[in-house]
């Protein structure tokens, strides 16, 4: 149970309910159940009972994790009711054994250790029991300084500290390492470019579109396996988890270069399977349980049956109306799976909360239908990770509620999250953030593509310059003008609530307001582009090009401060290059 109530009944537990009266005593007992079976399965060890009567509060856990979760429910009750908690009895246990959060720390933004600790605290409060950090090049591997030198990587010492910190909060820090596709920084390097699927790698300026689109290891080269095994072996000792996520998703270039003849002979699926099975065997030899993303298995369905049955498939689909076919196929193959929705912040300044809640809700239903053992709620940072952590928190909480009990008829509402997470007794702040996230006509994705196209950069699979031009022509100028005004109104309403929220959540509000200011300027940018560059006479700018350039520069100065409050410097310079480049283009108009 996750208590998300301001008044009335404190949430729906799986059994039990509130009594009458209120507890005014300070006697609180936390106990391990005397009959608890230490050999019981992990799911039952997460169960707990919480009783509040007129004399005492008693939390009893079947295992240490159950006891911890019971205490979190008590903390939530205290947040809602203060010292006047209603008499009640809760008997509770989770539906899904594993309830995780997946945080991208490789696409441009590397959090500080203190921020990662804060994230662990916030996740554990809502009974999320797994955290994974996505890493391509943002860990300081001993032999790979050429790869991570400009990223402010996470260090071995930081992971060791974080692992212990998480463990004390019933959160398992699971290692996750890109080990097949998405290896841009490795495969453009002088030392390792020979491991690229392609023989020739053209020299071209860095772009986020290029980093996202290519760079897959040569699956048949012994050196590729040796390289990944070395990374894995250096990474494993830093984690107490018995699991390892090898990723192996989106191998876009597989069989397109050096292995084209081999792929034609045996099939791309078999080529993929060969490499992945070698990694699985290596992890088995290290006594680790393997996880991997499921997208390529669904792309090559002929190999699903050849994946060892003890491998856990992380099955993602981020569409608000995600279909069930992929989840059904993995289930029918007899493979264990996590459903993996997303908090919908990638390529955006602020997460799309409507899309996030719809997507999470859909996949929670599929988890139940197809017997998933877990949910891993993903938080990606495509295109430089401009989106702030604060924007992901409402989706993370919503996912926590659904993965604990998808059958709860009254899933977390914006009002409830406002009260519980932010201390906003008006219950308004998350609803305002949701409405803010609905406004943009132009967001970071289109801003970046326009800048790249205007600067002559190759955007590859993201479309030609003409395609991008047509996309911008299709955006509604009048809606953008309306959004510009409404975003500023919402920013003011959110600011007016800032004084009444918890002190340790004020960073969240600063991030939200900064995002709102940037979103307003993006709408103004669209109007300038449509009027001055695309020749749409009906598009009336709200700011002139020169004034907009100045406003963007001031905004980016504020954005840098917000970034640095929670993150290392990492790749902030890449966002600066885009914003300053846009300002130069505006001054050329």
**Interval 450-480: pLDDT, tens:** 999 999 999 999 999 999 999 999 999 999 9
Alpha helices (H) along 88-171: 113-125, 145-148, 156-167
Last residue of a domain, one of 58, 92, 126: 92
Asked if 147 and 179 sit in the same domain, the reply is: yes
Please list the ranges in the chain whose pLDDT falls under 50.
5-23, 25
Three-state DSSP class for residue 196? strand
- The whole-angstrom separation of Cα 273 and Cα 125 is 39
* Nearest in space to 392 (alpha carbons), one of 126, 76, 12, 97: 126
Would you say residue 420 lies in a domain?
A: no
Helix pair 477-497, 506-528: axis angle to 10 deg = 160
- The whole-angstrom separation of Cα 146 and Cα 158 is 20
* 46, 51, 52, 55 alpha-carbon torsion, rounded to 10°: -130
List the structure tokens of 468: 């991008």
* Nearest in space to 509 (alpha carbons), one of 396, 432, 415: 432
Q: Are 383 and 109 in contact (CB under 8 A)?
A: no
Would you say residue 537 lies in a domain?
A: yes
Helix pair 506-528, 429-438: axis angle to 10 deg = 20
Asked if 88 and 158 sit in the same domain, the reply is: no
Asked if 377 and 292 sit in the same domain, the reply is: yes
% of the chain residues with pLDDT over 90: 88
Asked if 339 and 484 sit in the same domain, the reply is: no
Q: What is the 3-state secondary structure (H, E, C) of 244-275?
A: EECCCCCCCCCCCCCCHHHHHHHCHHHHHHHH
Last residue of a domain, one of 40, 73, 92: 92
* Nearest in space to 409 (alpha carbons), one of 7, 8, 14, 106: 14
Q: How far is CA 577 from the centre of its chain?
A: 25
Asked if 399 and 540 sit in the same domain, the reply is: no
Would you say residue 325 lies in a domain?
A: yes
Asked if 87 and 167 sit in the same domain, the reply is: no
Which residues are paired to 339 by β-bridges? 315, 375
Q: How far is CA 105 from the centre of its chain?
A: 10
List the structure tokens of 462: 């993201």
Express each pLDDT in 409-463 by its tens digit.
667 899 999 999 999 999 999 999 999 999 999 999 999 999 999 999 999 999 9
Asked if 402 and 507 sit in the same domain, the reply is: no
Q: How far is CA 348 from the centre of its chain?
A: 13
Name the domain count of the chain: 3
pTM (two decimals): 0.95
Express each pLDDT in 183-195 by its tens digit.
999 999 999 999 9
- The whole-angstrom separation of Cα 526 and Cα 538 is 13
Would you say residue 307 lies in a domain?
A: yes
Asked if 86 and 105 sit in the same domain, the reply is: no
Cα distances (Å, whole numbers) of residue 209 to 103, 135, 144, 451: 20, 18, 23, 12
Would you say residue 434 lies in a domain?
A: yes
Q: Are 61 and 38 in contact (CB under 8 A)?
A: no
Residue 538 is predicted with a pLDDT of 87
Give the domain extent around 24.
Answer: 15-92
Residue carrying the six token digits 């994790």: 65
> Parallel, antiparallel, or unpaired: how do β-strands 85-92 and 15-23 relate?
antiparallel
Residue 35 is predicted with a pLDDT of 58
Q: How far is CA 289 from the centre of its chain?
A: 22
DSSP state of 413: P
Residue 26 is predicted with a pLDDT of 60
List the structure tokens of 65: 């994790």
CB neighbour list of residue 433: distance below 8 Å, 6 or more residues apart:
350, 353, 391, 394, 494, 512
Would you say residue 2 lies in a domain?
A: no
Express each pLDDT in 233-245 by its tens digit.
999 999 999 999 9
Asked if 321 and 347 sit in the same domain, the reply is: yes
Residue carrying the six token digits 């006509």: 441
- The whole-angstrom separation of Cα 185 and Cα 165 is 30
Asked if 162 and 292 sit in the same domain, the reply is: yes
Asked if 372 and 466 sit in the same domain, the reply is: no
Q: Are 463 and 449 in contact (CB under 8 A)?
A: yes
Asked if 182 and 78 sit in the same domain, the reply is: no
Alpha helices (H) along 49-155: 64-81, 113-125, 145-148
Would you say residue 416 lies in a domain?
A: no
Helix pair 572-588, 444-454: axis angle to 10 deg = 60
Q: Are 566 and 122 in contact (CB under 8 A)?
A: no
* Nearest in space to 387 (alpha carbons), one of 156, 111, 193: 111
The CATH number covering residue 27 comes to 3.30.379.10
Residue 408 is predicted with a pLDDT of 74
Would you say residue 417 lies in a domain?
A: no
Question: How big, in percent rounded to 5, are the helix, strand and coil portions of the chain?
Answer: 50, 15, 35
**CA 366-368-374 angle, 5° bins:** 90
Residue 6 is predicted with a pLDDT of 36
Residue 36 is predicted with a pLDDT of 53
The CATH number covering residue 354 comes to 3.20.20.80
Last residue of a domain, one of 92, 114, 143: 92
């Amino acid at each position: 149970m996750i208590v998300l109530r301001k008044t009335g009944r404190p949430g729906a537990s799986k059994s039990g309910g509130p009594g009458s009266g209120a507890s005014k005593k300070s006697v609180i007992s936390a106990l391990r159940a005397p009959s608890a079976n230490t050999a019981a399965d992990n799911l039952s060890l997460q169960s707990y009972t919480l009783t509040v009567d007129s004399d005492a509060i008693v939390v009893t856990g079947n295992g240490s994790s159950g006891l911890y979760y019971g205490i979190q429910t008590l903390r939530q009750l205290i947040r809602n009711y203060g010292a006047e908690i209603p008499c009640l009895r809760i008997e509770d246990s989770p539906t899904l054994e594993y309830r995780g959060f997946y945080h991208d720390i490789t696409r441009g933004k590397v959090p500080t250790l203190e921020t990662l600790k804060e994230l662990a605290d916030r996740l554990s409060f809502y009974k999320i029991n797994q955290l994974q950090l996505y890493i391509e090049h943002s860990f300081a591997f001993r032999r790979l300084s050429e790869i991570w030198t400009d990223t402010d990587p996470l260090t071995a010492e930081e992971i060791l500290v974080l692992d212990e910190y998480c463990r004390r909060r019933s959160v398992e820090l699971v290692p996750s390492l890109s080990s097949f596709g998405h290896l841009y920084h490795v495969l453009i390097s002088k030392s390792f470019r020979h491991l690229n699927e392609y023989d020739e790698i053209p020299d071209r300026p860095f772009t986020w579109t290029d980093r996202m689109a290519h760079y897959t290891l040569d699956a048949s080269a012994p050196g590729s396996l040796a390289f990944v095994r070395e990374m894995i072996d250096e990474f494993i000792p830093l984690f107490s988890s018995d699991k390892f996520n090898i990723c192996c998703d989106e191998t876009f270039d597989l069989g397109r270069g050096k292995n084209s003849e081999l792929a034609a002979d045996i099939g791309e699926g078999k080529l993929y399977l060969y490499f992945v099975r070698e990694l699985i065997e290596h992890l088995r030899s290290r006594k680790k349980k393997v996880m991997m993303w499921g997208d390529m298995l669904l792309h090559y369905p002929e190999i699903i049956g050849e994946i060892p049955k003890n491998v856990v498939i992380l099955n993602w689909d981020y569409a608000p109306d995600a279909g069930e076919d992929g989840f059904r196929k993995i289930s029918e193959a007899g493979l264990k799976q996590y459903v993996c929705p997303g908090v919908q912040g990638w390529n955006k300044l602020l997460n799309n909360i409507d899309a996030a809640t719809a997507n999470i809700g859909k996949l929670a239903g599929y988890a139940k239908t197809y017997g998933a053992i877990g949910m891993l709620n993903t938080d990606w940072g495509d295109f430089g990770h401009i989106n702030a952590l604060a924007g992901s928190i409402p989706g993370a909480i919503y996912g926590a509620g659904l993965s604990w009990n998808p059958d709860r008829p009254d899933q977390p509402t914006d009002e409830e999250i406002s009260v519980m997470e932010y201390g906003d007794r008006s219950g308004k702040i998350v609803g305002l953030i949701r409405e803010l996230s609905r406004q943009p006509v132009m967001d970071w994705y289109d801003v970046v593509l326009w800048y790249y196209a205007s600067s002559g950069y190759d955007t590859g699979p993201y479309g030609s310059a003409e395609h991008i031009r047509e996309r911008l022509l299709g955006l509604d100028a009048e809606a953008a003008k309306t959004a510009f005004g409404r975003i500023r109104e919402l920013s003011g309403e959110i600011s007016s609530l800032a004084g009444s929220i918890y002190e340790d959540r004020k960073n969240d509000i600063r991030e939200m307001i900064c995002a709102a200011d940037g979103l307003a300027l993006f709408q103004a940018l669209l109007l300038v582009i449509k009027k001055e560059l695309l020749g749409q006479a009906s598009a009336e700018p709200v700011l002139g090009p020169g004034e907009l350039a100045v406003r963007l520069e001031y905004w980016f100065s504020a954005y840098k401060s917000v970034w640095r409050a929670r993150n290392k410097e990492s790749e902030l310079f890449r966002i600066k290059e885009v914003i300053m480049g846009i300002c130069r283009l505006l001054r050329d108009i």
